[in-house]
Amino acid sequence: MGEPSKVNIRNFSVKCGRCGEYQVLSAFAAGEEWNVYTYECDNDVCTAEDTRTLLEVPVDLDEFANRDPSWHGGKVHAGAGGHEGE
């Protein structure tokens, strides 16, 4: 078997099971083994507390956080070091 495929959260859309609208990425937390992306509804129908979705991605497969370290939520902002071009 080959190497596992990378995961890029830009290739995902997250819909709310309550209102059916797409959720927006609202937070990122870097972990030692898993990065956690938080999605929430951005409308007047749902409250974030009721519909918050957490998407966990293994650090070694997280193409988005590793590829775009300058993004607010990427490696630089998560305290993992790294600079553009590294």
Residues forming a β-bridge with 62: 7
Q: What pTM, to 2 d.p., does this model score?
A: 0.73
Rg of the chain in Å (alpha carbons): 14
Per-residue burial over 33-58, b = 16 or more CB atoms within 10 Å of its CB, e = otherwise: ebbebbbbbeeeebeeeebbbebebe
Higher pLDDT, 69 or 59: 59
Span 14-29, average pLDDT = 93
pLDDT of residue 45: 92
Please state, rounded to an integer, the average pLDDT across all residues of the chain: 80
pLDDT of residue 72: 58
Place of tokens 């918050």: 52
Q: Is the pLDDT of residue 76 over 50?
A: no
